[in-house]
Amino acid sequence: MKTRILIVEDSPLVTDAFSVLFTEAGYDVDVAATVADAVERGSEKPVDVMLLDLSLPDGDGLEIMEALRQRACLPRATLAMTGHSDAKSRRSCLEAGCADVLVKPVPISELLRQIERHLA
Amino acid sequence: MTMTEQLDPAALQQRVRALESQAKEAQRAIDDLKSRDALKTQFLSNISHDLRTPLAAIITHAEILREGMLGELTPKQRDSVTGIVSGGQQLLDMIDEILTYVRTASDQVNLARSEFNITELVDQVRLLNQALAARKRLTIERLNGDNLPPIYADRDKIKHVLANLIGNAIKFTPEGGRVWVSFSRRGKKEDELVVEVGDNGRGIARDHFELVFREFAQVDASPSRPHHGTGLGLAIARKLVELHSGRIWVESELGKGSRFFFTLPLDIPRDQ
């Protein structure tokens, strides 16, 4: 079965680009643009990797982690993506259970490498 | 004004009232300017953030093409797509600089201080700039500093300052030139560290020593200037150094090179 990746991001421009990237890289891609949508998709089918944008229109991306944890549906690895790297937001992501925090935009070779690394 | 006028209580009262109303007016003008400034800052912050997202998408699409994920490219096509990626990246760096400026200018910056070795940090920034320097056949040396005590400062912010000064030095030094970093200590108890970033590039005229630290200022602001940028780098560096109670300045001679200096306190407060 293909590795399933859930992209949580509210900009369709970015999700379009990522969908092309991950489909071509051989992943099964799903997209969510809001906290509510991500929780629903994340609990429907098991997710291997979740790419998580932190600022979403209906709340903080980290709320998704908590909701999925309560439903026992946490992805195998969650990579948070933020616009800027500050130590505080990095710490709160790691505390919430993210495997890593990447600063946007992540070069695609780096992104694919990180995903492989966290799935291994 | 004569003595009689000065002692006339009615005239005095009138004068006081006039001054009070002027003070109120001045205060209103200040408040108005402050709120306009806050609006401008908010606008810059929003627009920078909103520019970043589509740009990130453009870069990702171009990278997908460049990596041949949608089919092999001819060498010419690959060069062209590589141009899109590097142009996008450059634009992104400028947007990030504006965002950093907005944060520092609106005092949204909190220092996260820790003890660290500044010579190691300098070496790290040198390494990050090695490729850029090599392209211009420039050397970036660290002249001393092996036995410096640790400093107590915000590592990321000081890294930003060093990266900016070293980046500028590389930018304004012609091929084959020299860029260096050196340290000295001063003050009665040698409790102030002076960091110097020097180069033997084109230099800065004395009239421009202050101007270069002003926001949006560029010595050559003409559209045909050879070096483009936001003109915010040194304004940000100054703000970050001042947040650490330090000073930043430049000494330079046209045609001979520039030496940028900044100071940082060396005493580590033990109660923090």
Q: What is the 3-state secondary structure (H, E, C) of chain A?
A: CCCEEEEECCCHHHHHHHHHHHHHCCCEEEEECCHHHHHHHHHHCCCCEEEEECEECCEECHHHHHHHHHCCCCCCEEEEEECCCCHHHHHHHHHCCCCEEEECCCCHHHHHHHHHHHHC
Give A16-74 pLDDT, tens digit per residue: 999 999 999 999 999 999 999 999 999 999 999 999 998 899 999 999 999 999 999 99
Select the more confidently predicted residue: A81 or B269.
Answer: A81
pTM of the full predicted structure? 0.71
pLDDT of residue B272: 44
Minimal Cα–Cα distance from B232 to chain A, Å? 18
Flag whether pLDDT at B228 surpasses 60. no
Amino acid at B96: D
Give B108-150 pLDDT, tens digit per residue: 777 888 899 999 999 999 998 998 899 999 999 999 999 899 9
Bridge partners of B191, per DSSP, are none
Can you tell me the distance from the alpha carbon of A32 to that of B140, in angstroms, rounded to the nearest whole number?
47
Minimal Cα–Cα distance from B24 to chain A, Å? 41
pLDDT of residue B266: 85
Can you tell me the distance from the alpha carbon of B13 to that of A109, in angstroms, rounded to the nearest whole number?
76
Calculate what percentage of chain B has a pLDDT beyond 90.
58
Can you tell me the distance from the alpha carbon of A83 to that of A66, in angstroms, rounded to the nearest whole number?
22
pLDDT of residue B46: 84
Burial class from Cβ neighbours inside 10 Å (0-12, 13-18, 19+) for residue B168 reads: buried
pLDDT of residue B218: 65
Flag whether pLDDT at B6 surpasses 70. no
First to last CA, chain B: 57
Q: Which of A24, A55, A90 to mutate to test the interface with B (most CBs of B within 10 A)?
A: A24
pLDDT of residue B189: 82
Q: Is 0.90 exceeded by the ipTM? A: no
Minimal Cα–Cα distance from A9 to chain B, Å? 11
Q: What are phi and psi of B253, to 5 degrees?
A: -135, 130
Q: Does A11 touch chain B (CB under 8 A)?
A: yes
Give B180-189 pLDDT, tens digit per residue: 999 999 988 8
Interchain proximity A83–B70, CB inside 8 Å:
no
Flag whether pLDDT at B3 surpasses 60. no
Chain A, window 75-94: residues with a beta carbon less than 8 angstroms from a chain B beta carbon = 83-84, 86-88
From residue B231, how far is each of B52, B115, B133, B171, B237 by CA, in Å? 19, 31, 21, 13, 11
Q: What's chain B's average pLDDT?
A: 88
pLDDT of residue A35: 96
